[in-house]
Structure 1
Amino acid sequence: MKRYGFLLLFLLQLSCTSQSAVNKINGISFVASRDKAVQEHVDAFLKIHADHAAVMPFGFIRDIKSPEIIFDTDRQWYGETQGGARQYIQLLRANKVKVMLKPQIWIWRGEFTGGLKMETEEDWKILEASYDKFMLTYARLAQETKAEILCIGTELEQFVSNRPQYWENLILKIRKVYKGKLTYASNWDEYKRTPFWESLDYIGIDAYFPLSDAKTPSVEQLKEGWKPWKEKIAALAKETSRPVLFTEFGYRSMDYTAKKPWLVDRNDEGVNLVAQVNAKKAIFEEFWDEEWFAGGFVWKWFLNHEKAGGGMDNRFTPQNKPAEDIIKLFYQTN
């Protein structure tokens, strides 16, 4: 009964919101799998009224100092390859789901991509040539499949800050082969220093901002935690005349979920479904009514819905948890 009590309260709150939330991007991040996507995989997230999906093929780097990107090989999972991304997009488009193609880099042992930085000019040149090949491959795929948005990079702060002219040149190259909208997925503490927003169509932010030290923060505590961040984000949107897109947003279903929302470790913090629900409510209520805000992509959604998430899981996915119902109710009314 408790679960349905707070769902009813949330639905009543939504009925009072303004109409400015209409036509936002209500997205999910469609996790690359070993397998092909089939209709039942899409049906599961259509039930929460998502209208966009991020498709995420991967390139791999052996070391934080390595300049070579390895991608589209037979050693990768199907969904991480160009062929897998194409199949996912084709199925999504057959279901009238709009697509953001979001090629990403994975560094061996999960090292943070923001630290990718070369030590010599020679290695920078090799990395740039390798990244050109990687990104232009997927720019052509985005054009071929008519993906609505292409994300040109994810959380690559050192690469961006050390080679800003490279990125401006890359954007020009991409524009020659891809005619849709462009964004870049900056980390939550990176976006203010990203130099090329006015060359793109959206300010992209992976929105893992620290909001509260509480074990189970209330919606009001979380909204209060958003205030200083929101002011800065809104100011940048005004300064650049670009809408803000949360290229990733989400919270783990665990204690202290809003203290360090970026954590991906397998820690032992207790499962806390209420904290995840409250954090979802707060972000929806704070941002989806803003005219300068374009929407976002929930992190993250696995293909095999029946086996994903659940009441004993403290990870990001909202699948088979009360947070899934919150997303469904909000996306349905938006």
Structure 2
Amino acid sequence: MRSIALLCIFSLLSACSMAPVKQNKINGVSFVAARDIVDSTHVEPVVKVNANYAAIMPFGFIKNLEHSEIIHNTDRQWFGETRAGAEQYISELRKADIKVMIKPQIWVWGGEFTGEIMMTTEEDWKALEDAYSSFILEYADMAEKVNAEIFCIGTELELFVKFRPEYWSQLIEKIKTVYKGKLTYAANWNEFAKTPFWDQLDYIGIDAYFPLSDKKTPSYEDCLEGWKFHKPIIEKLSKQLDRPILFTEYGYRSVDYSGRQPWVSDHTMRDVNLQAQVNTTKALFDTFWHEDWFAGGFVWKWFIMHDEVGGHDNPMFTPQNKPVEEVLREYYKN
């Protein structure tokens, strides 16, 4: 009897060892840079929404789309936009066991779209490359020093990538000499299929503002239907390149027509529609979060002063203090 019992135990252990290990999803928030330092009261709402990751976003600034100089890590910036601020944020998040993706971003004065940054001469391209290398390697060095789990090498820089692919390939190799963790790039939703260097990175990063529905209040079913066009393209690329998909940004505004052009962030759309935000968000979770080729994502966006932002009259992206915050909490919990 003893030998039979031992055999049964061995069989069970063998079966368990052969079973696939379910990977935890990256349930992230985009932790917005602010003027001030953070403390546990700013991190507690992140914990309460069941997030396990935060994207930390230091900034560099460019005067216009044709300008090559990048101003970064200066005392003229908000604290959270600098290296010292990013390090302080990460230190506080670590106390709550929140992992981090460092995601340095460029802001063009006037809010012009970074994907259209475009130089007109070889001299200017070289100057931009030198400036960007200085900017991104500064934060790659920081990422290594703070043991960041993920480092994002750029955000929505479509024309820069398109016209200078050799530079980006070389930049990635330089980053790897400085930082030893996982790498991604945040490609815009209409850019990711053309990005040439995914095979050099660990995740295919997408800012997932895909259009889903033209309806004023798209239903959950409308949004699921909208994903049927985009999802196969995303999955196919993931499997072709053997790289998981990471939504480096995702989210919807709490406005009418929130699924029509989810990338629109200006203030011309003011008609609050909390149900539209709930429906679009639920459909995204149910479309992707159960897929083994999908790593997770970072909701856009999460402000440090939780009690002072969002709310039922707010038409912007943040889920804070809106019905969709409970949606986020429940999906991140499960």
TM range (shorter): over 0.9
Tell me the alpha carbon deviations over residues 37-94 of structure 1, each in whole angstroms, 9 at most, x when there is no partner: 1111100111010000000000000011000100011110000001000100111112
- How far apart are 1:22 and its partner, in Å? 5.1
Shift in alpha-carbon separation, 1:308–1:250, aligned structure 2, 3 A:
same
Partner Cα distance (2:333, 2:316) in 1 = 24
TM-score of the superposition, structure 2-length normalised?
Answer: 0.93
User: What code does the residue aligned with 2:137 have?
Assistant: L
1:1-46 per-residue CA deviation (whole Å, 9 max, x = no partner) reads xxxxxxxxxxxxxxxxxx9975010000000000111111100111
2:224 alignment partner AA = K
Provide, for residues 120-160 of structure 1, a one-character-per-residue CA deviation record: whole Å limited to 9, x for no partner. Answer: 00000000011110000000000000000000000000000
C-alpha RMSD of the superposition: 1.1
Partner of 1:160 in structure 2? Answer: 161
| SS of alignment partner, residue 27 of structure 2 | strand
Q: Distance in 2 between matches of 1:30 and 1:174?
A: 23
Alignment match, 1:122: 123
SS in 2 for 1:36: coil
- What is aligned with 1:151? 152
Unpaired stretches in structure 2, ≥5 consecutive residues: 1-19
Aligned to 2:227: 226
Give 2:250's aligned amino acid: F
Q: SS of the residue aligned with 2:268?
A: coil
* Counterpart AA for 2:198: W
Q: Which residue of 2 is the match for residue 23 of structure 1?
A: 24
| Counterpart contact for 1:21–1:290, Cα < 8 Å | no
For residue 140 of structure 1, what is the aligned residue in structure 2? 141
Q: Which moved more, 1:154-163 or 1:86-95?
A: 86-95
Task: Confirm or deny: 8 A CA contact 1:20 1:291 kept in the other structure.
Answer: no
Counterpart of 1:186 in structure 2 is 187
Q: Which residue of 2 aligns with 1:61?
A: 62
Structure-2 separation of matches of 1:194 and 1:110: 23
C-alpha distance in 2, partners of 1:49/1:21? 18
Q: Give CA-to-partner distance per residue, 1:155-193, whole Å, 9 cap, x none.
A: 000000000000000000000010000000000000000
Q: What is the CA–CA distance in structure 2 between the aligned matches of 1:137 and 1:195, rounded to whole Å?
A: 24
Q: Determine the structure 1 residue equivalent to 2:301.
A: 300
Mapped to 1, the partners of 2:197 and 2:46 lie a distance apart of 33
Q: CA separation in 1, counterparts of 2:223 and 2:269? A: 23
Structure whose alpha-carbon radius of gyration is higher: 2
What does residue 107 of structure 2 align with?
106
Specify the alignment match of 1:196 in structure 2.
197
CA distance in 1, matches of 2:274, 2:22: 26
Distance 1:67 1:288 in 2: 39
Q: Which has the higher contact order (CA 8 A, sep 6+)?
A: 1
TM-aligned CA distance change 1:21 to 1:267, over 3 Å:
farther
**Structure 1 residue runs of 4 or more that deviate by more than 6 Å after TM superposition:** none
Amino acid at match of 1:118: M
TM-score normalised by length of structure 1: 0.93
Q: 1: distance between equivalents of 2:91 and 2:133?
A: 24
Matches of 1:63 and 1:252, distance apart in 2: 27
Give the whole-Å Cα distance in 2 for the aligned partners of 1:163 and 1:205: 20
User: Which letter does structure 1 place at the counterpart of 2:316?
Assistant: R
Distance in 2 between residues matched to 1:251 and 1:59, nearest whole Å: 25
Amino acid at match of 2:276: A
Q: Identity of counterpart residues, as a percentage?
A: 58
In structure 2, the residue matched to 1:37 is 38
Could you report, residue by residue, the CA deviation over 1:260-317 in whole angstroms, capped at 9, with x for unpaired residues? Answer: 0000100243100000001110000000011110000000000000001000000000
Closer, same or farther in 2 for the Cα pair 1:182/1:288, shift >3 Å?
A: same
Q: State the distance in 2 between where 1:107 and 1:270 align.
A: 27
1:329 aligns with 2:334: no
Corresponding position: 1:251 with 2:264: no
